[in-house]
Amino acid sequence: MNSRNLYLLLIGLLLISVTACKKTPSSGNDTGGTTPPVGKDVPAGAGDGVTYINNGTSAIFNLYAPDKKSVSLIGDFNNWTADSKAVMTNSTDGTRWWIQIDGLNPATEYAYQYYIDGSLKVADPYSHKILDPGNDAAIPASVYPNLKAYPSGQSGIVSVTQGSPDAYTWKTASFTRPDPKNLVVYELLPRDFVATHSYKTITDTLNYIANLGVNAIELMPVNEFEGNDSWGYNSNFMFALDKYYGTPNDYKAFIDACHAKGIAVIQDIVLEDQFGSSPMVQMYWDKTNNIPAANSPWFDQANMHPDAVGYQLNHQSVATQYFTKNVMKYWMQEYKIDGFRFDEAKGFTQTNSGNDEGAWAAYDAARITTWENYNSYMKSLDPSFYVILEYFAANQEEAVLANQGMMMWTNLSTPGEQALMSYNDSGGSWDLSGLFYDVYGFSAPYALVAYFESHDQERLQFKNGMYGNSNGSYNIKTLATGLQRDEMGAAFMFSSPGPKMVWQFGERGYDISIDDGGRLGDKAPHWEYMADANRHHLYQTYSRMIRWKIKNPAFRTTNFKYNLSGPIKFIQLLDPTNNVEVVGNFDVMPQPAVLNFPSTGTWYDNITGTSINITSLPYNVTLLPGEYHVYSNTALAL
């Protein structure tokens, strides 16, 4: 073959090669007439979601979406057009899609979505802010001013990003978290705590909580959830703050103000499941069976336990663990929160218990491993961070986690209600022994976060008013008597060692049923309750008990005795600094009490401000119904 023919042959082969490599439309995936670039990884330093570079004038968008054929980025910056310039590059392993957008104004908010496989438009799972066309109109400008308008002509939830959002300047330079053994948590729902449902108003009202003496506030979920009028457990965007309560800087100002008053902030979070508007659910959806698709990196197709309501995350999946840890890290570092309360933590399981509550609560070694992994990660970021689990599993399993520093929610609503209403059945339903960690076989004094009320439980004073027992003129249904019973309950709850929790307004005898207007319906805060002398006295009793608990070492002792099963209940706390004896009559008639004080001598009654002189033991006394005392060798410090 002569050189000329060889040259022509080579040119022909080159033309064939170029033609073969030319981009052609991808069948069924219209993303502007081109197939995606392949085989190029996300630039170094670009995280999930949006990473700004070049002083905020450029951004790298990075989406984890394995098994997809094509992904385009559409938004304000390209007139929402899925043309060839919008096509995202696929990483070498096929799991990620990314693109760099230049020419951005760092001061401008841009809305965007991902257009997947020519048919699905979703917001970014890593969004820090979203626009919801179905719900944003109900958010008043007083709560979230200057909210960006929803982009005209678009549909579905869209993400919002900005290169240089208004920065918050933290005022509290350092904050020392309360010792977990001293923790008294105030759980609140921003929607119902103040009528404005805004962080700004809660911040302005913070003295009410600070004067109560609590050293931690636990907020029900504040990340984006479906709708506005909600408890927040129907999560859909785990990195975005729900706008119904205010702006990110409002939330940071609230946390800052709490820290300035010595109050930690604990965030209730839902990482057991997601709901249908979550882009992670939508990206992998089996339309035929109306369940998550089999190839979802994150979700199980079937829920694994009887109490599931959303679509369950598979926490044995590497992708889910990666996502979960990123969520944890974001809130810990961006908002400087002090702890998480994990909703339905027992649901972090791949053991399918069907409808069997007992099987779900049974010992689960794999679930333990999952929580050990997450706890270690959080403690690696912040060793003093609080990890509180709504677990309610076998004591043996909870003990393993408690001994590693995690705290367990301990629901004592039934014995608390029964004791305050003065009812006991053959099973000992008014037994308050569950206030003590040793009952569960735990060795850690911080292991339990015990409570009589939570967002999930009926209100104590409502039960007193509706169903309280009576004997002659002593009637627990009477408001003054019911509130006095609430005081006695507080004396026992706060006297038991370990962390405790108060549900909002229990300290003033809130008596609107949890089911009033529907279980999840709005509940008025009724601030006028504080004008009632008996309700205000209950608030003062809560305040004194909480301050005594926090400030006196005797309430952290591991040397204690108690008998909380009968009508006469007592707690004895022994400490070198002071000994404490708590006693109360939970019956509706007078009862004899035989008290074995640890010593004779003068004992100060912190409730009445008087003293008694014990000359011999045991000490015999008759207590009137509802009568209680908190005795100590010396007056408790306030």
Set out the domains of the chain in order of their start, with CATH numbers.
49-162 (2.60.40.10), 180-555 (3.20.20.80), 561-632 (2.60.40.1180)
What torsion do the CA atoms of 184, 187, 193, 197 make, to the nearest 10 degrees?
120
pLDDT at 170: 98
Tell the residue number behind the tokens 């690696």, with chain if given: 380
Strands (E), 333-433: 339-342, 386-389, 407-411
- pLDDT-derived band at 214 (thresholds 50, 70, 90) equals very high
Counted residue by residue, the chain has a size of: 638
Q: What's the half-sphere exposure (Cβ side, CA atoms, 13 Å) at 93?
A: 6
Please calculate the CA angle 117-119-120 and round it to the nearest 5 degrees: 90
In angstroms, what CA-CA distances link 156 with 115, 153, 167? 12, 10, 29
pLDDT at 35: 67
Question: At residue 21, does pLDDT exceed 70?
Answer: no
Reported as type and span, the H/E element at residue 376 is helix 365-381
Please calculate the CA angle 286-291-296 and round it to the nearest 5 degrees: 65
In angstroms, what CA-CA distances link 589 with 131, 420, 428, 471, 630? 60, 13, 18, 7, 20
CB atoms within 10 A of CB 634: 13
Rounded to an integer, what distance in angstroms lies between the CA atom of residue 629 and that of residue 491? 8
The crossing angle, in degrees rounded to 10, of helices 479-495 and 413-421 is 140
What is residue 169's three-state secondary structure? Answer: coil
Chain segment 568-612, per-residue pLDDT in tens = 999 999 999 999 999 999 999 999 999 999 999 999 999 999 999
Token digits of residue 300: 């199980």
Rounded to an integer, what distance in angstroms lies between the CA atom of residue 246 and that of residue 202? 11
- What percentage of the chain has pLDDT greater than the value 90? 94
Alpha-helical (H) ranges within 174-238 are 190-193, 199-204, 206-212
Residue type, 584: G
Supply the mean pLDDT for the chain: 94
Q: What's the half-sphere exposure (Cβ side, CA atoms, 13 Å) at 393?
A: 29
Rounded to an integer, what distance in angstroms lies between the CA atom of residue 419 and that of residue 564? 10
Alpha-helical (H) ranges within 171-246 are 190-193, 199-204, 206-212
Chain segment 500-529, per-residue pLDDT in tens = 999 999 999 999 999 999 999 999 999 999
Of residues 22 and 350, more confidently modeled: 350
- pLDDT-derived band at 272 (thresholds 50, 70, 90) equals very high
Rounded to an integer, what distance in angstroms lies between the CA atom of residue 393 and that of residue 409? 11
Question: At residue 468, does pLDDT exceed 50?
Answer: yes
Strands (E), 326-465: 339-342, 386-389, 407-411, 448-451
Question: At residue 5, does pLDDT exceed 90?
Answer: no
| pTM score of the predicted model | 0.93
pLDDT at 327: 98
Burial of 549 (0-12, 13-18, 19+ CB in 10 A): buried
Rounded to an integer, what distance in angstroms lies between the CA atom of residue 316 and that of residue 525? 41
- pLDDT-derived band at 33 (thresholds 50, 70, 90) equals very low
Tell the residue number behind the tokens 């009477």, with chain if given: 478
Rounded to an integer, what distance in angstroms lies between the CA atom of residue 170 and that of residue 256? 7
Token digits of residue 87: 């096509």
Alpha-helical (H) ranges within 477-604 are 479-495, 533-551
Chain segment 131-176, per-residue pLDDT in tens = 999 999 999 999 999 999 999 999 999 999 999 999 999 999 999 9
- pLDDT-derived band at 31 (thresholds 50, 70, 90) equals very low
Question: At residue 187, does pLDDT exceed 60?
Answer: yes
Of residues 412, 411, 413, 405, the one with CA closest to residue 447: 405
